[in-house]
Amino acid sequence: MTATTPFLPDTRDETTDAWLTRRNGTLCAEAVPLSAVAQAVGTPFYAYSAAALRANYAALAAAVAPHRVTVCFAVKASSNRNVLAEFAALGCGMDIVSGGEMTRALAAGTPPSRIIFSGVGKTRGEIRAALRVGLHQINVESAAELEVVAAAARELGLRAPVALRVNPDVDALTHAKITTARKDSKFGIAAAEVPALYAEAAARPELEMVGLAVHIGSQILDLAPFRQAWAAMAGLVRVLRAAGLPVARLDLGGGLGIGDDSHPGPDLAEYARIIGETVGGLDLALNVEPGRWLCGRAGVLVSEVLYLKPGEGADFAIIDAAMNDLMRPALYEARHPVMPLHPPRDGAARAYRLVGPICESSDDFGSYPGLGPLAAGDLLAFRHAGAYGAAMSSTYNSRDLIPEVLVDGAQFRLIRARAGIDAALRLEEPGPWSHAG
Ligand SMILES: Cc1ncc(COP(=O)(O)O)c(C=O)c1O
Ligand SMILES: N[C@@H](CCCC[NH3+])C(=O)O
């Protein structure tokens, strides 16, 4: 029986994965065969397309521009400074959640005036550093944090530009672990508490109250929750202004999801239209802070098949990538489309369950019908791995942090070297004992 070609590039998705094509049968990232990258850096590795990063930013920025919306990339999605530099060079701002991310955003060439500091647990040190650097805005998530920001600003003799992050109690209709604005969520300040807190803060000379922020969750495919949340924010802006309070900016958050072979993904024009209809007429400086949408489809994780063995329902293909490299399937039951690097092969189309070497049953990427026949040594590309892949990886089971590579046209280069056990052992050199008491 001749195999059909179930893993040919998904041409339905040309605007998103157009950088992945098959040339002479082999899978290429832009004009670079991924097998050549595998030879150069070894597997597993991440590869990103510079063209896809740039195209994604251009498409999103153009879609929202008519509504006076700037785009800030959520650094947590892909914090490699070379990826950040691609965006920074285009004028993209950054949304950060730690001092480490601030260092990365600045190192990538982002001006402080384009950096927003989000996050529910900023430390005193991080807040002081942000104020000293002169970031655009600090999104404050509690009354307690507001006190710390005010104290730091006073000590430094500065005015802190503050927005309050609101919890509008909206279900983002996404995976429960990545929804962030339901009533019981740790994020944001309950909408009912915002007017009093905002008024109190606006009366403090060390705080410059610039506006509000909201972020309802991640991998959002149904746009209705955005409409609900932003309509609630518009209501709140009107309430604050009616009380004579200044509201100049509104941070609409990230969360725009990406489709896959079974879902086309949200429509950018519709996303922009909802912004216009909910908050467009309020004379606000708006921004969005997408992570996944800008970089998720611009990256693949390439892994080698180590062993095949029979299993219940589907045969196992044990691969050299694991949950420490890409933890989304284990953490959120996420499914990443997979394409073999080799050309279609004769033989029965078979389902394989792709699993990694880690000693956890959740080290399982799921069952993939129509992949086979596979053989040991085959290379597989997990698509849509450009967001929350390398950024969330760990060294569990004392595995290496794997290389990251950036492809640009017919060239590629290493943008993060493999970090192996030798480096880890150096960090574990024991320090001197300290005597307590
Ligand atoms: C405050 C904030 N902004 C932006 C993002 C980016 O989310 P996404 O990658 O889903 O666009 C996140 C993560 O969910 C976040 O917590
Ligand atoms: N890390 C998650 C999303 C949460 C983003 C941060 N709030 C993912 O891989 O999908």
Instruction: Compute the distance from residue 67 Cα to the ligand 1 centre, in Å.
Output: 21
Residue 292, marked binder:
yes
Of 179, 216, 289, the one to substitute when testing ligand 1's pocket (max ligand atoms within 8 A of C-beta) is 289
Residue 400 per-residue DSSP state: P
Residue nearest ligand 1's atom 5 by CA:
254
- Active-site residue flag, 28: no
Beta carbons of 122 and 100 less than 8 angstroms apart: no
Paired sense of beta strands 364-368 and 352-355, if any: antiparallel
Regarding the beta carbon of 215 and ligand 1, being less than 6 Å apart is answered yes
Closest CA to 303 of 359, 258, 349, 357: 357
Ligand 2 pocket, residue 85 CB under 6 Å: no
Q: Give the ligand at the shortest distance from the Cα of 74.
A: 1
Q: Judging by beta carbons within 10 Å of its beta carbon (0-12, 13-18, 19+), is residue 367 exposed, middle or buried?
A: middle
**Ligand 2 centroid – CA 64 distance (Å):** 23
Q: Name the fold adopted by 11-49+298-424.
A: Lyase, Ornithine Decarboxylase; Chain A, domain 1 (2.40.37)
Structure confidence at residue 346 (pLDDT): 84
Supply the pLDDT for residue 263: 83
How many angstroms is it from 96 CA to the middle of ligand 1?
A: 10
Provide the residue ranges of all domains of the chain, joining segments of one domain with +. 11-49+298-424, 118-290
What DSSP letter does each residue of 99-146 carry, written as one string?
HHHHHHHHHTT--GGGEEE--S---HHHHHHHHHHT-SEEEE-SHHHH
User: What's the gap between Cα 236 and its chain centre?
Assistant: 28
Atom 5 of ligand 2, residue of closest alpha carbon: 218
Mutate-to-test residue for ligand 1 from 218, 268, 331, 332, highest number of ligand atoms within 8 A of CB: 218
For ligand 2, say whether the CB of 219 is within 6 Å of any of its atoms.
Answer: yes
Question: What pTM was computed for the model?
Answer: 0.95
Cβ 391 under 6 angstroms from ligand 2? no
Domain at 118-290, CATH from 2.40.50.100, 3.40.350.10, 3.30.1300.10, 3.20.20.10: 3.20.20.10
179 lines ligand 2 (CB under 6 A): no
Enumerate residue ranges in the chain where pLDDT < 50: 1-16
Q: How far is the CA of 240 from the centre of ligand 2 (A)?
A: 31
Is 218 touching ligand 2 by the criterion CB < 6 Å? Answer: yes
| Pocket flag, ligand 2, residue 22 (CB < 6 Å) | no
Query: What pLDDT is attached to residue 10?
Result: 37
* CB of residue 78 inside a 6 A radius of ligand 2: no
Tell me whether residue 290 is annotated as binding: yes
* Nearest ligand to the C-alpha atom of residue 328: 2
DSSP 336-373: --EEESSPP-SS----EEEE-SSSSTT-EEEEETT--S
- Nearest-CA neighbor of 403 among 43, 83, 76, 120? 43
Ligand 1, atom nearest to 218 Cα: 10
Q: Is 255 annotated as a binding residue?
A: yes
Active-site entry in 28, 72, 92, 359: 359
Alpha-carbon distances, residue 402 vs 47, 49, 131, 157 (angstroms): 11, 17, 35, 44
In the reported structure, the alpha carbon of residue 333 is separated from the centroid of ligand 2 by a whole-number distance in angstroms of 12
CA of 218 to the centre of ligand 2 (A): 6
ipTM: 0.98
